Structure 1
């Protein structure tokens, strides 16, 4: 039985379906939009080949994780190389035209391209032939080492050919969306060549890479591999992470010339690049997570998309909250948080769900900048929502050694506080502006959607399996199977074709994070090689003068700056390597330190001046990007307060007895409400500027979590309430303070 073709919901939902379920608002909200430089193959041999490659890439990971484990380096090397191949074939070096390629039109090469094409093909072709010869000799004759000339001569041609291919891709990009540029094909071949060399020598490289024993041939493979990762990251995630990685690479060679704590002895290119391409760098923790947990849960998200369960989540949110005042904004809070938890990218989630929620927010009265900002704040919050946390929980578990389930439990109260704050923000703004919700006749019928509540089963199974002792991989796999089984109770049954389509989608959705994690691995490797992380920790200690609060403030600033313009996964990985050790050395518990850094790395997506999620929301709402980023910062302000809350009271991270946990949760919730009221200027009525400041002081007084500070905050909140209800006058309040 084949699956239903994945056409838009509006095209596949019959009138009978609509009358049975009520109006359907969400239609393909979780589908990945094409990037400006992403190719779109509409048919022919090229399209079929890309589909097969994507399916094989995902199937390889699912198969290895569940049925046929591979040696660690081998698995991660194939993971990175496969991501590079798909990245170069699917994404151009520059923006391309929306027009598809003309059928049958021959590939045209400009006259000035010919020298680059010949040089690239000759260099990469020769190197690929040498590596193929080595493998062929081993398979056919059992020769463990090929003739000396094979590895002695492949490196320079490979490097020169790669440089020529990069120049061709940059200078003469293919503008048709349905065609692959010759240079990108050669770059993909270069990635496979690097993989072939490292895999052939993997046993020896484990011992000699990064040492004085590293060979010239090792250097060329690592050098080309690093450059290909940087280029793939530039295409898939922009320049920000590439620039930061390049600065760290330059730092590795400039150490002898730098002053103070930045100075180090420096490294030879051979030692540096071979070290970086080991499990201390590119093949380390970040790639470990991307090759297992990230691709697993992206595949789970692809199954939800293929089975239309993702649409049901959003429709359920509309049915539950769409009629309330400011309904679409509240839907954005719930739906974007849920989808953002799974898809692992703030800006991508804004584009996916915001295309539906932002126009509806504007319709009920939210200003354009507020509409984009609310979506950005809610989508970014998905990264801190358990149990998946946009892959953040898995990286934290890998880096700290703390059990995954403990991290997930610790994330519950902070995420509830954050989303409660955003909800309070949008509700109070709706109240202040006198907004209404959407008419019920335009919303899905809640009673009918409740009958399909079984569509939440995949997520329930995931959570149950995680907390029942199953491994993360087994739990994610069970959730995928559940999504396919549940689809048979809907019009969108997943058969073989739909499962393969989900595998194809998963590969396309994952390659950005594959490149990002590999690039972040370069930075982590530099930190480990140079020891700058330890020296930075010492500097942080000196600046803070053993004052933990001051150290936390510095850490907050650094994590935000490091995360600006970077995907969340990379931002946390880098901040965890640079900032967290310093906090831990100050005596801050490991879990608290990493959660603190993680929160601010996530919130860099809505922090001006570089706020990727807010800019995506501004593009959809038509508002000014900078004003939208400022508004999103204001709406997500709780995320800048909550980390200080759980620093002062670790009961917010579920550390302690239940009575203490309940106490800090209740008082923190009241403080979050007071904060939202102060920011929006509406409590139980409009607030003048002075009263807003007073209420803000009351909110901040509840951050520390102590009994006296809580009582002060509650007293201020009660006083403002009585003042607004005309029970007391300003003179009475002043007299009470005496």
Structure 2
């Protein structure tokens, strides 16, 4: 190692030690604020974001360690940390009670601090999320500043820099608005809970339990992957993180059993993405939804259960059909469920606790803190799962680091939300959407789905949902959907970018683990994740989002959705229990249209058709098995 390389390495080590201390301190600070709620929003949110940005500049350097400009670049990183600290303390000390700034405008120091905050936020966004989100935020800010020179149909007032800084920085709008409030409060605590699940071994327990439940069946590791991702993906907060962590175990097993690498990667990506719509936590988006809609999180949790189960049922069906086509069997050696449960049953208690408390409408922040405490207490109650102080601090550190891209993305998404509110462009977008779609609900849904995929190519799921909900939900409600149904549809469609070519980040992550082609893995994931498109259609055209009144309609919506999933899978895959004839596939291909767009009588007939075709196919399967025997 040369002297230069050795020096670079020593600098990296020292800065990583500083980052570790800062990350642990951030977790302590977040827990303290969650318990005491001593700091007001204009103080807590800037402090949180300052801490996040400083950590980003420490752990995500401007250039890599082997770059010859590493040391000068690290000096730039440290300068950005200092600039962030100065700007944050200025914003925290800002006198919001003095309304003179509303009459006379901000002072030069105020504008400078606000400008530094926005610039450092966008740079941190580039390092953690990617350039696409920076470009989107910059376009919206440019629109706010120069909207007055645009054609009248899309023009806005055109705001001065002083007005933009005042709105986005010195208020609880824009950067410090609702998205960051959710990320800094609820989401951070549940990300910390997920980190504790991993360091205590609870995550491994849920994976082992999934293999014990599903491993012995046809295509066992793939089905275990779906079950494990349903359990863990909800809490991890990231489909990509879930794909990598769960996939590190499941993907090699799937390949060993006989799945192609691309299929294994696609299965894991589709299952892990589904974790983001699975209660009780549902990633970060559901908490944002509760904030945007004003609907209690407990209600969102309850109405999400049935659609989430239907999604995983859809994925399991495709996995089973794939296993049948490949002629795969189950795993030869599977741990007994009672043995797995005996070793780790105590890890179920924290999940039961947080689910119960959320349903009882306790504060999500306090529920998350209770969950963190419960998982640690549960781990310490049994000798084989006790963790050391070192592992405890590792969990504190990992929780903070995992939260970096989420908080940064939400703060930047706040710029977009703020510009929409400041300029009124949301109303113009709604009118444009209605005009382009002709006022038909199905065409509005199609346009939103396309927009979700495009946004998702460069934005994290939560950020894509925030941006899309602000722009598209009014169009859906104008066509008669409830506010909850409209947000749920947008929330589900926002997940699709993880599994939809040409840029499917969760599928690409799975391809990396599997050693597979990224694009072919994305195609497989897209096929397996059809529920993300089919189920939102049923949310729009049937009472699949239960309103507490029409119970029979809700039950029939579940039945028709199951029929829709089976019909679509059979038509695409060409088989159910046994291969289907071309005539049967043609009939099944027509069934979805009848189930979505027709009246009650035709829907009943379509369900009956699916039942008859499935029953005949199952009878053929039993007859073939009997003949073979």
- Name the CA shift for 1:630/1:63 in 2 (closer, same or farther; >3 Å): same
The runs of at least 4 consecutive aligned structure 1 residues that moved more than 6 Å come to 39-44
Distance in 2 (CA, whole Å) between partners of 1:625 and 1:43 is 32
In the alignment, does 2:447 pair up with 1:447? no
**Structure 1 counterpart of 2:163, from 240, 263, 271:** 271
**Structure 1 counterpart of 2:21, from 44, 52, 75:** 52
Equivalent residues in 2 for 1:410-429, closer than 5 Å = 410-429=303-322
**Structure 2 counterpart of 1:582, from 470, 475, 482:** 475
In the alignment, does 2:365 pair up with 1:473? yes
**More divergent stretch after superposition (522-531 vs 709-718):** 709-718
**Structure 2 counterpart of 1:438, from 325, 331, 340:** 331
Tell me the equivalent position of 2:416. 523
Equivalent residues in 2 for 1:82-101, closer than 5 Å = 82-96=51-65
Partner of 2:216, secondary structure, is coil
Partner of 1:214, secondary structure, is coil
Shift, 1:226, TM fit: 0.8
In the alignment, does 2:115 pair up with 1:227? no
Distance in 1 (CA, whole Å) between partners of 2:214 and 2:615 is 30
Shift, 1:215, TM fit: 2.7
Distance in 2 (CA, whole Å) between partners of 1:374 and 1:456 is 25
Shift, 1:50, TM fit: 2.5
Question: Residues 577-619 of structure 1: CA distance to partner in whole angstroms, max 9, x if unpaired?
Answer: 1111222233321001101111111112111222111111222
Shift, 1:366, TM fit: 1.3
Shift, 1:317, TM fit: 0.7
Aligned pairs, how many?
Answer: 610
Tell me the equivalent position of 1:405. 298
**Structure 2 counterpart of 1:213, from 80, 89, 105:** 105
Distance in 2 (CA, whole Å) between partners of 1:206 and 1:559 is 40
Question: Residues 263-314 of structure 1: CA distance to partner in whole angstroms, max 9, x if unpaired?
Answer: 1231222222332223210100110101111101011112212211111111
Tell me the equivalent position of 2:5. none
Tell me the equivalent position of 1:656. 549
- Name the CA shift for 1:658/1:696 in 2 (closer, same or farther; >3 Å): same
In the alignment, does 2:144 pair up with 1:252? yes
**More divergent stretch after superposition (377-386 vs 87-96):** 87-96
**More divergent stretch after superposition (213-222 vs 587-596):** 213-222
- Name the CA shift for 1:497/1:583 in 2 (closer, same or farther; >3 Å): same
- Name the CA shift for 1:434/1:484 in 2 (closer, same or farther; >3 Å): same
Equivalent residues in 2 for 1:353-372, closer than 5 Å = 353-372=246-265
Contact 1:649 1:664 in 2 (8 A): yes
Equivalent residues in 2 for 1:156-195, closer than 5 Å = 172-173=69-70, 181-195=74-88
Distance in 1 (CA, whole Å) between partners of 2:64 and 2:592 is 47
Equivalent residues in 2 for 1:508-547, closer than 5 Å = 508-547=401-440
Partner of 2:462, secondary structure, is helix
Contact 1:565 1:612 in 2 (8 A): no
Tell me the equivalent position of 2:625. none
Shift, 1:74, TM fit: 0.2
Question: Residues 208-253 of structure 1: CA distance to partner in whole angstroms, max 9, x if unpaired?
Answer: 37x7622332221111111111111111112221221122222223
Question: Residues 451-504 of structure 1: CA distance to partner in whole angstroms, max 9, x if unpaired?
Answer: 232221110000111122422122212111110111021423145544333211
In the alignment, does 2:208 pair up with 1:315? yes
Q: Give the greater-gyration-radius structure (CA).
A: 1
- The structure richer in helix per residue is 2
Shift, 1:654, TM fit: 4.9
Q: TM-score, normalised by structure 1?
A: 0.78
In the alignment, does 2:447 pair up with 1:554? yes
Shift, 1:391, TM fit: 1.4
- Name the CA shift for 1:688/1:224 in 2 (closer, same or farther; >3 Å): farther
Contact 2:210 2:228 in 1 (8 A): yes
Tell me the equivalent position of 1:682. 575
Distance in 1 (CA, whole Å) between partners of 2:163 and 2:505 is 36
Contact 1:194 1:224 in 2 (8 A): yes
